[in-house]
Amino acid sequence: MTTDELWEQLRASIICQPYIWPGDIDDMATVYESELAATSDRLNPFREVTRRPRTSDPWFDKDCFEPSASLAVLNVHTLKLPEI
């Protein structure tokens, strides 16, 4: 999407045509929101992406878990120490 495409879409929308704006402020806010959402969807359509988690290597889990667990134990003991 380029800035020029965005401006072109906005100029063609009801937002830039005040002679057909609704008279009620609430209706105007609804039109404004729906026009911006529709323009955004046209220029940048929603895409669904599927992410499949990969299992990690067994050596990585073991080598990283043990130091992390011992560090957590040390942190708990540090919190229990009296302040000097």
SS (H, E, C) 21-45: CCCCHHHHHHHHHHHHHHHHHHHCC
DSSP at 78: H
Tens of pLDDT, residue by residue over 2-25, are 888 888 888 888 888 888 888 888
User: What per-residue confidence (pLDDT) applies to 79?
Assistant: 73
Q: What tokens were used for 71?
A: 């560090």
Beta strand extents in 1-84 (DSSP E only): none
- The Cα-based distances of 20 to 15, 24, 32, 72, 79 in angstroms read 9, 12, 12, 65, 67
Of 2, 24, 46, 33, residue with least CA distance to 13: 33
pLDDT score recorded for residue 73: 80
Predicted pLDDT of residue 11: 87
pTM of the model: 0.47
Per-residue model confidence (pLDDT) at position 61: 66
Q: Where are the domains of the chain?
A: 3-43
Q: Residue ranges of the chain with pLDDT lower than 50?
A: none
